[in-house]
Structure 1
Amino acid sequence: MDPVLSCRWHDQDGEWELSVSRNGGGWELIAAAPRWSESLPFAGPEDVRRLAQALLDLPADPEPYEFAWELSRTEFERTEKERTHFATFAVGLDPADDHRPYLAYQSYYHWGQTTALGLEVVCEDPPVDHLRAQAHALLSDLPGPTSTQP
């Protein structure tokens, strides 16, 4: 899988990443922490298109802004070990922190009567211009309707 939209950074713990890649006929969101990574599928190319547009529309001025996606995958379907892995992925400006841009991922696992917290990856102050360039290129390559702005 080649990343199409990607935000990578390092801190004292190691490398972190949030990226969107084409995976065969679908799209995957990859969240990686220094010692753990996971991926979840987007519902379809329309969700990826909305993500790209949300990055293009990220306001330059401080104002409330957030778009979020719910992603999920059920594993071991229809067995006693059925488990659903789901996550929220958001793009926005943080009103509690001078409206700084962010990408945020939080996952959960649900099996039986139990829900457990999964991986959290937050990219604060992502390279917005670079993400916009990636989003524009993605929208140019995706078949179907787009509403890109130059």
Structure 2
Amino acid sequence: MDLTLHCHWRDLNGPWALTVSHNGREWQLFAGTPVGSESLPFAGPDEVRRLAQALLDLPAEPEPYECEWQLSQTEVIHDKREFTHYATFAVGLDPSDGHRPYLAYQSYFHWGQTTALGLEVICEDPPVDDLRAQAHAFLTGLPGPARPQR
């Protein structure tokens, strides 16, 4: 069984993607744009279950809703300084835009005294029914105690 949660779309600039999957060692979040991509460790199985449940729980009616994850990965670069890649990933309904559903990813990098923005990937109006179906299949197929609550 493919234990992946994904949203792929295309606009005038090209293909975009937000995907959470297991790479054999750990859960990864992949963010792709027409001009680049990056990935970060997502979290453990409990947080992946929480993401799937957040997709299942996306309200059908306009109401405040957001689930957010803070991701990071630190590496020591060639000159022995730490280089940290941070990102925020969110699933929600946008209160400033008629409570439209969205998936959003924003990353930034920090090393020494410098911070720089990374990728921003936002899917407005994702295919909610498809995401719910993926989440249900994901929770049903993921080993462990949690099962879909919807």
Coarse TM-score class (shorter-chain normalised): over 0.9
Structure 2 counterparts to residues 1-150 of structure 1, below 5 A: 4-76=4-76, 80-150=80-150
2:55 and 2:29 map into 1 onto residues whose CA distance is: 15
The alpha carbon displacement at 1:118 in A equals 0.4
Deviations 1:65-121 (A, max 9, x none): 000001111122695332000100000000000000000000010001111100000
Tell whether the 8 Å contact from 1:3 to 1:19 is kept in structure 2 after alignment.
Answer: no
Deviations 1:129-149 (A, max 9, x none): 100111111111212222523
1:24 and 1:73 map into 2 onto residues whose CA distance is: 18
Q: Aligned partner of 2:54: which letter?
A: A
Tell whether the 8 Å contact from 1:101 to 1:126 is kept in structure 2 after alignment.
Answer: yes
Q: Which runs of 5+ in 2 are unaligned?
A: none
Tell whether the 8 Å contact from 2:4 to 2:22 is kept in structure 1 after alignment.
Answer: yes
> With structure 2 as the length reference, what TM-score do the two structures score?
0.93
> With structure 1 as the length reference, what TM-score do the two structures score?
0.93
Runs of 4+ in structure 1 over 3 Å off? none
1:77 and 1:34 map into 2 onto residues whose CA distance is: 27
Q: How large is the Cα RMSD of the aligned pairs? A: 1.6
Give the number of equivalent residue pairs.
149
Q: Which runs of 5+ in 1 are unaligned?
A: none
* The 10-residue stretch of structure 1 (42-51 or 3-12) with the greater mean CA deviation from structure 2: 3-12
Tell whether the 8 Å contact from 1:26 to 1:45 is kept in structure 2 after alignment.
Answer: no
Between the two proteins, what is the percent identity of the paired residues? 69
1:78 and 1:13 map into 2 onto residues whose CA distance is: 35
1:141 and 1:47 map into 2 onto residues whose CA distance is: 15
